[in-house]
Structure 1
Amino acid sequence: MSQDRRSAVIVIDMINTYDHPDAEPLMASVRQALPRVRQLIDRARSAGTDVIYVNDNFGRWRSHHDELLAAALEGPHADLVEPVLPDAESLFVVKARHSIFYQTPLEYLLQQSGVEHVVLCGQVTEQCVLYSALDAHIRHFDVSVARDAVACIHEDLADAALRMMERNMGARLVRARDVEL
């Protein structure tokens, strides 16, 4: 990847109420990944790299990001959300499906900002991160996945998903501290 390409860190679904059937195994994985997600966000902010949160809408079709943040912070697992809250400079895109691109304005936003390289972190590796990496690839973005800053429900599927992202989509799998911004 050329050093002069503009990057953006995409934080996927980290604003979460953890009120779903697979929450327990996911929360255990989030606890492990959370320090590296925080580290990556901090590095990006310090470098002046855009941090864009793309988050599920929890089925709340009239919601905006303040409502989503409030719901997650009022829930019993706010400790998993507070360390990665958006700051005043962060951008926020609401999604309804697995991919960060599916029927969202993200592609347009990235193009308008001149972003050519997306760095993915967040959850769930074998679902939203995988589908988002594929959609980024087919849109001709360079893709990096901070492999220690993604959380999963099923470790075996997450390992397979990471291999697929690397092999089939040309994604670079790197540690959060080694991500090129």
Structure 2
Amino acid sequence: MNNKALIVIDFINDIVHPEGKISQEIAPQVQKNEVIAHANNAIEHFRKQSLPVIFVKVGFSSAYIEQPKNSPIFGLADQYKALELGAWGTEYHKDLDVLTSDYSVVKNRINPFYNTSLATVLSANNIDEVFMCGVSTNWAVHSAVMEAHDRDFKVNVIEDACAAANETNHNASIETLSRVANIVKSTEL
């Protein structure tokens, strides 16, 4: 039997709340497709089985010392005070079922494995199969799935608990990821 964990990526206010600083494209998709509700279904499923649920969020200290200044994605975060750790923007969305006892990984790049404790946590818990959901499908989720695949995990993507800026990007990423991961719906868990 596989040791499983759920990885929930970047459901933070700046990205998925309509008033978030960088949410203009993705927040409507998250709301329209009830993505957080589907993520909560997955979270509930894993909790009922006493399986680990690991939350991931992107963020930078208030000095933005970790911010990649030349990045097309993160390069202006400091100017807009976006993705600032400890601020409302990096809090998990109020509708996401996060408990204070849940483990949270902070990342400074797109990939949740890069320079974080995620691999250590998975290894320490003998996890060999991961289920992933979050935003955006074609950036953070895509990157995490590819990395998990290359680290020899069995990988599953909970498709209806993911979103991108538009359906075209979401569907293209899911199509690509289907070559290295099992694609499931939250109701199929």
* TM-score (normalizing by structure 2): 0.79
Aligned residue pairs, count: 164
* Pairing 1:27-176 to 2, within 5 Å after superposition: 27-31=27-31, 32=33, 33-58=35-60, 60=62, 68=85, 71-72=88-89, 81-167=93-179, 169=180, 171-176=181-186
Deviations 1:96-148 (A, max 9, x none): 11111011111111011011111101100011000110000000011100000
Higher helix share: 1
Which amino acid is the alignment partner of residue 37 of structure 2? P
Q: CA deviation at 1:177?
A: 1.8
Structure 1, unaligned runs of 5 or more:
none
Of 1, 4, 8, 1:11 maps to 8
Deviations 1:50-69 (A, max 9, x none): 1101110156458xxxx847
Does the 8 Å contact 1:15/1:68 carry over to 2? no
Runs of 4+ aligned residues of structure 1 deviating over 3 Å after TM superposition are 58-62, 67-70
Q: CA deviation at 1:73?
A: 8.0
Q: CA deviation at 1:149?
A: 0.4
SS at the partner of 2:178?
Answer: helix
Which amino acid is the alignment partner of residue 111 of structure 2? S
SS at the partner of 1:82?
Answer: coil
Which amino acid is the alignment partner of residue 150 of structure 1? C
Which amino acid is the alignment partner of residue 4 of structure 2? S
Distance 1:73 1:162, change over 3 A: closer
RMSD: 2.2
**Counterparts of 2:104 and 2:174 in 1: how far apart (Å)?**
25
**Counterparts of 2:162 and 2:37 in 1: how far apart (Å)?**
11
SS at the partner of 1:24?
Answer: coil
Deviations 1:12-62 (A, max 9, x none): 001232212xx2220011112111011111111111111101110156458
Of 9-18 and 133-142, deviating more is: 9-18
**Counterparts of 1:58 and 1:41 in 2: how far apart (Å)?**
26
**What percent identity do the matched residue pairs reach?**
28
**Counterparts of 1:52 and 1:24 in 2: how far apart (Å)?**
26
Structure 2, unaligned runs of 5 or more:
15-19, 66-83
Which amino acid is the alignment partner of residue 72 of structure 1? G
**Counterparts of 1:45 and 1:69 in 2: how far apart (Å)?**
26
